[in-house]
Amino acid sequence: MYSFKQFSKQLFFAIIYWVLAFSIFILIRFVAHGEEQGVSFVNPKNVIPITEWIHFGVILGVLVGCLYAIIEFAFEKFITNNIYLGLSIILKTGIYILVLIFSLTFIIALIEVDMDIDLQNEPGWWKESALFWLATSYFFLASFIFLFLKLAFEKFGKGVLFNMLMGKYRNPTEEERIFMFIDLKSSTTIAEEIGHTKYSKFLQDCFFDLGKIVSRYDGEIYQYVGDEAVITWKLKKGIKNNNCIELYFAFAKQLKRRSKYYLKKYNIEPFFKAGVHGGELIITQVGTVKKELAFHGDVINTTARIQDECNTHDESLLISEVLLRTMDLKLKYSVKNLGEILLKGKSDTLKIIAIHQN
């Protein structure tokens, strides 16, 4: 169900992006230039309305967008994590060239029928076609932009890149946020047992599994610190559908589902504990050489201290009572009130609740 939802979202954005990209390409190539390479015909600007050419740009964009989304999703889900980046790029390049040959052959055939003109589309036409190599160059440039936007969204979250470009975070900005500190249990023991190199690969696998489900619950990974990941939500997104709680148990389920893999490769079944808290803090852009967004405020420190209490009380998920009050907890969960706890480094106590899945 999730894979379908994730793919549907990628498909939608890929189609929108490539429809716009190829509409622009068609507009520039056939309307502004007005002459197909090797074939002379009347300037379409004077004969065929712009809307007709854009119509073919839309068809080409939908076709390429669908194929592009399928390829990207398949690589992300089944291939990328199992082969080297260089080999992945080579494979994608070859596949994308085949996609372009198929797509352009199809669209040229449509243009021939619809406009009753003769265009170059016989077998192997693309080898000597300046149009094909122009479209290929344009495609890879557009792909680079698409990849940049995707990485930016994954790095900063939706809408953040635009806000950074507009300078919103040059000055400290107050936001209401939820944070989750999720930490590997018995990490020191595990590192000693399997060695640092294997331990590093072990963490890579664990955080790869975490990364696959974070977006499902509208979370954003703020940073990785050793064997710990810090996840954040805007307040409304975090409490919606209990996302900040659902994520933890979904991650635990994902690790359980892959337990045979972890036991076979590392002889260890990973288990993570987490602390959750929310409130107002400051978000701002820091650094000049390596710019990034930073969160400043007591919320982060308090969340880390709540997560520390997991070992003390032998619990896997702890949440502040003040945050839990804003949520409508589902019946599949039960709670255990740990009472007022004086967190390390704090002068005031905080009521902490343990969450269990029934």
Q: Would the pLDDT of 315 be above 60?
A: yes
Whether residue 114 sits in one domain with residue 10: yes
Over residues 53-61, mean pLDDT = 80
Mean pLDDT of the chain: 83
Question: Percent of the chain scored above 70 by pLDDT?
Answer: 82
In the listed set 156, 182, 204, which residue is the last one of a domain according to the structure?
Answer: 156
State residue 88's pLDDT score: 77
Whether residue 181 sits in one domain with residue 146: no
Whether residue 266 sits in one domain with residue 119: no
Whether residue 348 sits in one domain with residue 207: yes
Whether residue 142 sits in one domain with residue 190: no
Q: Would the pLDDT of 212 be above 60?
A: yes
Over residues 241-248, mean pLDDT = 95
Whether residue 309 sits in one domain with residue 290: yes
What is the Cα–Cα distance from 252 to 297, expressed in whole angstroms? 29
In the listed set 108, 136, 156, which residue is the last one of a domain according to the structure?
Answer: 156
In the listed set 156, 174, 190, which residue is the last one of a domain according to the structure?
Answer: 156
Over residues 317-335, mean pLDDT = 92
State residue 10's pLDDT score: 82
Q: Which residues contact 341 (CB under 8 A, 6 or more apart)?
A: 309, 349, 350, 351, 352
**Domain extent at residue 42:** 2-156
State residue 35's pLDDT score: 44
Neighbours of 189 (CB within 10 A): 10
Whether residue 97 sits in one domain with residue 68: yes
191-202 per-position pLDDT tens digit = 999 999 999 999
What is the Cα–Cα distance from 219 to 191, expressed in whole angstroms? 28
Q: Would the pLDDT of 52 be above 80?
A: no
CATH assignment at residue 244: 3.30.70.1230
Q: Report the domain count for the chain.
A: 2
Give backbone dihedrals phi and psi of 172, rounded to 5 degrees, phi first: -55, 130
11-39 per-position pLDDT tens digit = 888 899 999 998 888 777 665 554 444 34
State residue 78's pLDDT score: 76
Whether residue 167 sits in one domain with residue 121: no
Least confident segment among 27-36, 68-77, 134-143, 250-259? 27-36
Band the pLDDT of 253: cuts 50, 70, 90.
Answer: very high
Whether residue 250 sits in one domain with residue 276: yes
126 is written with which tokens? Answer: 């693309």
State residue 180's pLDDT score: 97
Whether residue 173 sits in one domain with residue 144: no
Whether residue 129 sits in one domain with residue 232: no
Whether residue 257 sits in one domain with residue 142: no
State residue 2's pLDDT score: 46
